[in-house]
């Protein structure tokens, strides 16, 4: 075994932190957008489309916001 020192973590800087936060915010957005589309579209669509958009919006919101918040806490 060698006794070389471990490398320190490299800082990403303010621009990198901003870009990371914007990327994780973009991960959070599709779920609420799908949910809003499901609720606000014209009633001329089929019930299957409505429930599909609603279920997709809820699922994408749960997964996206969970992953986005987790990522924001890492930055």
CB 41 within 8 A of CB 7: no
Structure pTM? Answer: 0.64
pLDDT, tens digit, 9 for 90 and up, residues 3-25:
766 666 667 788 888 888 888 88
Q: Encode pLDDT of 22-48 as tens digits.
A: 888 888 888 888 888 888 877 667 888
pLDDT at 51: 84
The per-residue pLDDT for 46 is 80
Closest-CA residue to 34 (of 55, 62, 4, 65): 55
Q: Is pLDDT above 80 for 64?
A: yes
pLDDT of residue 32: 86
């Amino acid at each position: 075994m060698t006794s070389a020192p471990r490398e320190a973590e490299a800082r990403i800087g303010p621009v990198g932190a901003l870009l990371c936060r914007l990327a994780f915010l973009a991960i959070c957005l599709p779920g609420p957008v799908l949910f809003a589309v499901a609720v606000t579209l014209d009633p001329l669509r089929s019930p299957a489309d409505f429930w599909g958009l609603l279920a997709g919006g809820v699922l994408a919101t749960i997964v996206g916001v969970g992953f986005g918040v987790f990522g924001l806490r890492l930055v």
